[in-house]
């Protein structure tokens, strides 16, 4: 199978913060890969913008180095790299000052027919200022797009303030709030599995599903960005956005159409259906030191930190479809392995015909986001051979890499796909302002209750499965977490 690439219209993409980590590590390598795939129009321009005083050549040299670091010197195609670098430009702009804006406008006006997109890969306190300047200088037109990165606020009030700033200058249809989890192939496949197959949807409800587990586990700690992380913690950094999005896509009703507002309306309904979480259904953890590596507080450069590097929650979606089926969410750093998955665990058969049914032999559908994106259906079958009806639990495994062969190698990563969606004007995989606010409205009371209790999070061993209380959260319901794979 050959990967099908749909060309996009000519565009100018201005990356504010083009000299920063995110641009060098993800955005620019992603754009290079889209060029390799043949999706970048020849006259598209990528204009880096930041305070550093670089020439076009200086910027191209910087990007070449970034491509060599993050894609690999040997993996770069010489001709494509040359063409790609040729389409890069640089404009020195101070987001908080006057410098550079008039020149940026002159550059963009050279190609008035191009789609204009502005990617704000800068600290969030600059979002409002940049949006305001783009609008007041006339650089942004009524068809321009603006892309903003997380964090989209740190609570409901700050998210509302950010949305208000953006909406003063841009219509909601022009705003693209990135949650890169939504750009992952498997996340979109979750919708395909649910809504393009007649098999699962009739079973996708509280009558047939015992519970759902959503896990995003990381093996690394916060070292390097500890001081930043310490201000947010796992709840703000992961649950409010990534896990919430996975929960929405798993729990939502089928939208009437696969289009941005239809999908986002259904996700919003899920968030609004979430019951407030009881304090007893929340667990916070902080990783301990190992023989060779420091503990969380040392990494965070804050010896008294009460910030969590782990969260587990038991969540109820209070609607007809899910009444009585809990969703268990967990995420943490320095765990046994790097793994993201959604596991839909079905109920046991109503009547046990076989006394030898293995324990925990319920069907489950596991949607793996990483590593090795794919889908597994766990089934109970007869163990081969004579000696009666012995049953065994086996996986029916579909790794995308195996199922799709070479086509999967060309699969765009989340950033590549999302940037091209911005150019196409497709907001389906981006969060709408009201979704972000609803997510904070649900998360804020949990965080407030933790702050009120002022308890230190429970310590857990680095390389383990998380704190004891997280195991107990499921044990007390007669369930257990799936193993975190190494």
Is position 180 annotated in a ligand binding site?
yes
Nearest distance, CB of residue 307 and ligand NAP, angstroms: 17
How far is it, in rounded angstroms, from Cα 351 to Cα 357? 11
The angle formed by the CA atoms of residues 157, 161 and 164, to the nearest 5 degrees, is 135
Is position 461 annotated in a ligand binding site?
no
Q: Which residue among the candidates 92, 242, 316, 351 is catalytic per the annotation?
A: 242
- H or E, element range at 89: strand 88-92
The one-character DSSP state at 242 is I
Edge-to-edge strand ranges of the sheet holding 45-50? 88-92, 45-50, 11-16, 115-120, 145-148, 175-177
Query: Please, which of residues 135-194 interact with ligand NAP by CB under 6 A?
Result: 149-151
Strand partners, 365: 344, 377
Is position 304 annotated in a ligand binding site?
no
10, 20, 58, 132: which one binds ligand NAP (CB under 6 A): 20
Strand partners, 339: 217
Nearest distance, CB of residue 341 and ligand NAP, angstroms: 21
Nearest distance, CB of residue 25 and ligand NAP, angstroms: 6
Q: Can you read off the two tokens belonging to residue 324?
A: 């009585």
For residues 311 and 330, the answer to whether their CB atoms sit within 8 Å is yes
Chain centroid to Cα 160, Å, comes to 21
Q: How many binding residues for ligand NAP (CB under 6 A)?
A: 23
Is residue 50 close enough to count as binding ligand NAP by CB under 6 A?
A: yes
Residue (of 408, 384, 413, 412) closest to 398 by Cα position: 408
Segment contacting ligand NAP (CB under 6 A): 48-56, 287-295, 396-404, 458-466?
48-56
Instruction: Please say if 242 is a catalytic residue.
Output: yes
Is position 414 annotated in a ligand binding site?
no
Is residue 427 close enough to count as binding ligand NAP by CB under 6 A?
A: no
Q: Given the structure tokens 């804050």, which residue do they identify?
A: 302
Is position 246 annotated in a ligand binding site?
no
Is residue 21 close enough to count as binding ligand NAP by CB under 6 A?
A: yes
- Closer Cβ to ligand NAP, 95 or 313, answer by number: 95
Cα maximum dimension of the chain: 83
3, 10, 37, 52: which one binds ligand NAP (CB under 6 A): 52
- Closer Cβ to ligand NAP, 125 or 262, answer by number: 125
Helix (H, G, I), strand (E, B) or coil at 444: helix
- Closer Cβ to ligand NAP, 48 or 467, answer by number: 48
Is residue 27 close enough to count as binding ligand NAP by CB under 6 A?
A: no
Segment contacting ligand NAP (CB under 6 A): 13-21, 166-174, 364-372, 468-476?
13-21
For 441, phi and psi rounded to 5 degrees?
Answer: -60, -30
Is residue 17 close enough to count as binding ligand NAP by CB under 6 A?
A: yes
Is position 480 annotated in a ligand binding site?
no
Is residue 367 close enough to count as binding ligand NAP by CB under 6 A?
A: no
Strand partners, 214: 329, 342
Nearest distance, CB of residue 331 and ligand NAP, angstroms: 15
How far is it, in rounded angstroms, from Cα 101 to Cα 88? 18
How far is it, in rounded angstroms, from Cα 363 to Cα 349? 9
Q: Can you read off the two tokens belonging to residue 155?
A: 């609570």
11, 13, 14, 19: which one binds ligand NAP (CB under 6 A): 19
Residue nearest to ligand NAP (CB): 20
Residue (of 349, 350, 329, 363) closest to 235 by Cα position: 329
- Closer Cβ to ligand NAP, 104 or 446, answer by number: 104
Strand partners, 269: none
> Exposed, middle or buried: residue 274 (CB in 10 Å: 0-12, 13-18, 19+)?
buried
Site string for ligand NAP, 94-133 (x = CB under 6 A): xxx------------------------xxxx-x-------
Binding-site annotation, residues for NADP(+):
17-24, 51, 150
Residues annotated as catalytic are: 242
Q: Tell me the binding residues for substrate.
A: 180, 184, 218, 237, 333
Give me the residues that bind ligand NAP (CB under 6 A), please. Answer: 16-23, 50-52, 93-96, 121-124, 126, 149-151
């Amino acid at each position: 199978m050959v990967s099908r690439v749909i060309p996009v219209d000519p565009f100018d993409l201005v990356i504010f913060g083009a000299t920063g980590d995110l641009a060098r590590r993800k955005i620019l390598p992603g754009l290079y890969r889209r060029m390799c795939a043949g999706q970048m129009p020849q006259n598209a321009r990528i204009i880096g913008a930041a305070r550093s005083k670089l020439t076009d050549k200086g910027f191209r040299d910087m990007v070449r180095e970034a491509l060599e670091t993050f894609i690999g010197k040997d993996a770069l195609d010489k001709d494509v790299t040359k063409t790609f670098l040729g389409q890069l430009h640089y404009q020195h702009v101070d987001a908080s000052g006057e410098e550079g804006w008039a020149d940026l406008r002159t550059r963009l006006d050279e190609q008035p027919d191009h789609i204009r997109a502005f990617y704000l890969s800068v600290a969030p306190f600059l979002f409002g200022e940049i949006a305001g300047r783009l609008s007041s200088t006339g650089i942004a037109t009524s068809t321009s797009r603006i892309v903003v990165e997380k964090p989209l606020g740190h609570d409901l009030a700050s998210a509302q303030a950010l949305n208000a700033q953006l909406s003063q200058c841009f219509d909601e249809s022009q705003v693209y709030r990135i949650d890169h989890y939504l750009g992952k192939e498997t996340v979109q496949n979750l919708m395909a599995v649910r809504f393009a197959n007649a098999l699962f949807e009739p079973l996708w409800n509280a009558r047939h599903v015992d519970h759902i587990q959503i896990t995003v586990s990381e093996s690394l700690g916060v070292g390097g960005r500890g001081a930043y992380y310490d201000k947010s913690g796992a709840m703000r950094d992961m649950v409010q956005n990534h896990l919430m999005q996975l929960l929405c896509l798993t729990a939502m009703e089928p939208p009437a159409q696969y289009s941005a507002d239809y999908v986002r309306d259904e996700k919003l309904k899920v968030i609004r259906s979430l019951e407030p979480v009881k304090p007893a259904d929340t667990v916070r953890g902080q990783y301990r030191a190992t023989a060779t590596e420091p503990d969380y507080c040392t990494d965070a450069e804050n010896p008294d930190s009460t910030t969590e590097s782990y969260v587990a929650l038991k969540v109820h979606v209070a609607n007809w479809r899910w009444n009585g089926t809990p969703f268990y969410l967990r995420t943490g750093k320095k765990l046994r392995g790097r793994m993201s998955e959604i596991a839909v665990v079905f109920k046991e058969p109503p009547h046990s015909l076989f006394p030898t049914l293995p324990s925990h032999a319920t069907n489950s559908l596991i949607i793996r986001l990483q590593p090795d994106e794919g889908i597994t259906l766990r089934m109970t079958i007869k163990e081969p051979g004579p000696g009666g009806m012995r049953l065994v639990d086996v996986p029916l495994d579909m790794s995308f890499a195996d199922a799709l062969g070479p086509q999967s190698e060309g699969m765009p990563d989340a950033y590549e796909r999302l940037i091209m969606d911005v150019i196409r004007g497709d907001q389906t995989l981006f969060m709408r302002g009201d979704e972000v606010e609803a997510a904070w409205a649900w998360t804020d009371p949990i965080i407030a209750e933790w702050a009120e209790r002022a308890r230190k999070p429970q310590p857990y061993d680095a390389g383990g499965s998380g704190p004891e209380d997280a195991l107990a959260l499921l044990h007390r319901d007669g369930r257990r977490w799936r193993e975190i794979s190494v």
